[in-house]
Each structure stands twice: as structure tokens, then as C-alpha cells.
């Protein structure tokens, strides 16, 4: 069973890698970042001085969790798309348990180990919390949010995860979630990183994706290291440079790996030529204005949101209702 799963994953990695690397311009899908090494590097990123996103969102929850939770219906069950280890979610669960004695928390994620960790830690740390985990890829799989008798659902999609999808994919994710929110008092909480403004410069934004310690560069290059490990490819990591840039037209940070020399890489018998200066586009991270996010929410079946920002106005959390 385990062998089949591993074979299926290898096949998916191979198919996506060949498709992306033989297209013009070259791309690799960002889900390939998150093997064990990549997930550990991402955890390090969230602690970097330059990567303000995680701290800013956590500060919003620290200050406003009671207000956020009270704005949704009562009693509540809290669901979360792409929960990972749910490190910030505890603040919202604690607020919910101040309003009701028992709260069912329903994390949905592709990673069984992250779900296990959440299921071990949260009920022990927050009395009254029960966990119902669901292993699913919320983009490609169906998922169900259970509704205990008479409860309203607060669905979390936080951590700026929506930013890694283009507008069409983002609408599809939000519309699919909207289908589960059918009761008066149901709500959706979305965490988004804000576009540059008088409060945040483009330089600050770029630094968050190109830190001085080189952790983001290592995270980006891990995608090639993963193809070497899992597919027997022969990328020379030294011959690629990490590049993060701001695309103002699309309101997104882009991450690229730029080949510094002419080189040919072989993956599963397929030869891939890289010219000097040619880039492999590995990630987009969209940044929002309040106006842009309201438009996305309206297009996806939600109300204009209640809007919460951190003290520096770097990050926002939007609480929207299905309409």
C-alpha cells in the first residue's frame, strides 16, 4: 500500500517536472517545495526577521481573536484548509472555548504527520477542544466539514495560502469552500498579505522572499534537490541563483531559479537545456489591497468582509459571510 502511494507520488512529481521544464518559460509547481526538507525550511522561514507574515497574522489573532470568533455564529465548529500543524489556530480555538465549553476543530491537510501533530497537541493544550482530522488535498479532492447539531461553521483559510494561487484558482478554492457554508452564522476567515503601500515598501516585500541568511534561497533550490533525490535528476544547485522580484502588474512576488551557465540536465532520460540567464519560475505569492480582496470575495459568493490588520498594516485577516 505504502509502496503504491510512493510510486504514485513519484509519477506525479515526474509528470509535473517534465511538463514544467519543457514549457516556455520553464516552470515548476510550488507544491513540489513541500517534501520533508522543504517543509522544515518553510518552518525556518516563518521565524526569519524579514518574513513578517506569520508574526503579523499571529499578532492579529492575539489581539482580536475574541472579536473574530464572536462575529461568527454560536455555537461554532472551526474547520481549517491546509492547516499544517495549526500553530496559530490555537489562539482562535482558545477564544472559542471562552464562549462555549466544547469546540470541534476540523483540520484538512495533505500531510498525515502534520495532522497527527495537531491532533496530539491541541486537545492537550486547550481543554474542550476535540479534533476531527481529514487527509485531503483541498484543491484536487473533495472534503466535508461536519456540522455538529445546531452549530455554525467558521472556516479558516489563513497564512496567506490563497496568495500562492492565481486569481482563477483562488476563486475556485473559495467557491468550493462556499458550498459547505450553508447556514446563517457560517463564516470564512481569510489571511492575506497586503500589497506595497505607504506602510510597506517593495524592498521590504522582496526581503521577505530573499532573506540575508539565505533560507528562502535554500527553500527555493530544494525543489531541484528534490528532483535529484526522487527522480535521479542531475541539477547542479551551485549553477542556479535564487531570484525574488516584485511584479507590480500582477501584484505578486515571483520566485525564480536562474541558471548561471549553459547546462543540460537529465531527468528520467529526458534532456533539459538551460541557457545562461534562463529562469525556472517556481512560485507566485499574490499581495492584496482591501479593494482587490473584496472583489475576489464577491466573485466567489461572499459578503464584503470585516477587516482586521496588524499594527504595522502589513497583513490582513478578512472575515466574510456566504451570500
Our finding on whether 59 is near ligand AVI (CB under 6 A) is no
Distance in Å, CB of 191 to ligand AVI, minimum = 9
Our finding on whether 160 is near ligand AVI (CB under 6 A) is yes
- Which residue, 46 or 100, has its beta carbon nearer to ligand AVI? 46
Our finding on whether 222 is near ligand AVI (CB under 6 A) is no
Our finding on whether 216 is near ligand AVI (CB under 6 A) is yes
Measured CA to CA, the distance from residue 209 to residue 249 in angstroms comes to: 18
Q: Using CB under 6 A, which of 38, 163, 301, 305 touches ligand AVI?
A: 163
Our finding on whether 215 is near ligand AVI (CB under 6 A) is no
- Which residue, 39 or 117, has its beta carbon nearer to ligand AVI? 39
Measured CA to CA, the distance from residue 116 to residue 123 in angstroms comes to: 12
> Applying CB under 6 A, what is the total number of residues that bind ligand AVI?
11
- Evaluate whether 271 touches 264 at the Cβ level (below 8 Å): yes
> Which three cell numbers mark 308?
482586521
Q: Using CB under 6 A, which of 159, 301, 305, 322 touches ligand AVI?
A: 159
Measured CA to CA, the distance from residue 282 to residue 273 in angstroms comes to: 17
H-type helices in the chain, by residue range? 2-21, 36-45, 53-71, 89-99, 112-125, 167-178, 202-208, 215-231, 290-299
Length in residues, the chain = 323
Closest CA to 108 of 129, 78, 88: 78
Our finding on whether 164 is near ligand AVI (CB under 6 A) is yes
Q: Using CB under 6 A, which of 77, 85, 106, 161 touches ligand AVI?
A: 161
Instruction: Report the SS3 class of residue 258.
Output: strand
Our finding on whether 209 is near ligand AVI (CB under 6 A) is yes
Distance in Å, CB of 293 to ligand AVI, minimum = 15
Using the contact rule CB under 6 A, the part of the chain among 114-122, 134-142, 155-163, 297-305 near ligand AVI is 155-163
Residue with the shortest CB distance to ligand AVI: 285
Our finding on whether 180 is near ligand AVI (CB under 6 A) is no
Give Cα separations from 116 to 147, 159, 220, 298, 301 (angstroms): 22, 20, 27, 35, 32
Closest CA to 117 of 85, 143, 90: 85
Question: Could you list the residues that contact ligand AVI (CB under 6 A)?
Answer: 45, 53, 159-161, 163-164, 209, 216, 283, 285
Amino acid at each position: 500500500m505504502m509502496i503504491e502511494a510512493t510510486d504514485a507520488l513519484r509519477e506525479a512529481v515526474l509528470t509535473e517536472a517534465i511538463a514544467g521544464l519543457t514549457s516556455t518559460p520553464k516552470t515548476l509547481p510550488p507544491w513540489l517545495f513541500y517534501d520533508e526538507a522543504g517543509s522544515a525550511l518553510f518552518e525556518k522561514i516563518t521565524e526569519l526577521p524579514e518574513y513578517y507574515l506569520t508574526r503579523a497574522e499571529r499578532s492579529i489573532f492575539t489581539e482580536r481573536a475574541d472579536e473574530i470568533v464572536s462575529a461568527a455564529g454560536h455555537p461554532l465548529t472551526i474547520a481549517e484548509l491546509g492547516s499544517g500543524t495549526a500553530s496559530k489556530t490555537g489562539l482562535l480555538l482558545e477564544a472559542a472555548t471562552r464562549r462555549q465549553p466544547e469546540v470541534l476543530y476540523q483540520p484538512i491537510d495533505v500531510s498525515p504527520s502534520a495532522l497527527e501533530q495537531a491532533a496530539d497537541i491541541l486537545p492537550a493544550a486547550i481543554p474542550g477542544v476535540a479534533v476531527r482530522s481529514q487527509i485531503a488535498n483541498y484543491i484536487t479532492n473533495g472534503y466535508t466539514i461536519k456540522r455538529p447539531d445546531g452549530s455554525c461553521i467558521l472556516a479558516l483559510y489563513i497564512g496567506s495560502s490563497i496568495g500562492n494561487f492565481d486569481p482563477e484558482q483562488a476563486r475556485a478554492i473559495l467557491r468550493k469552500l462556499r458550498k459547505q457554508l450553508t447556514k446563517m452564522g457560517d463564516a470564512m476567515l481569510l489571511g492575506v498579505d497586503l500589497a506595497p503601500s505607504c506602510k510597506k515598501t517593495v524592498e521590504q516585500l522582496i526581503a521577505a522572499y530573499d532573506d540575508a541568511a539565505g533560507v528562502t534561497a535554500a527553500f527555493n533550490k530544494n525543489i531541484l534537490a528534490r528532483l535529484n533525490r526522487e527522480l535521479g535528476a542531475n541539477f547542479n544547485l551551485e549553477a542556479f541563483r535564487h531570484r525574488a522580484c516584485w511584479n507590480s502588474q500582477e501584484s505578486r512576488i515571483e520566485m525564480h531559479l536562474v541558471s548561471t551557465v549553459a547546462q543540460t540536465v537529465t531527468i528520467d532520460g529526458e534532456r533539459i537545456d538551460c541557457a545562461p540567464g534562463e529562469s525556472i519560475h517556481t512560485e507566485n505569492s499574490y499581495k492584496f489591497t482591501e479593494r482587490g480582496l473584496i472583489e475576489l470575495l464577491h466573485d466567489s459568493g461572499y459578503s464584503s468582509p470585516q477587516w482586521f490588520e496588524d499594527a504595522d498594516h502589513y497583513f490582513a485577516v478578512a472575515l466574510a459571510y456566504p451570500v
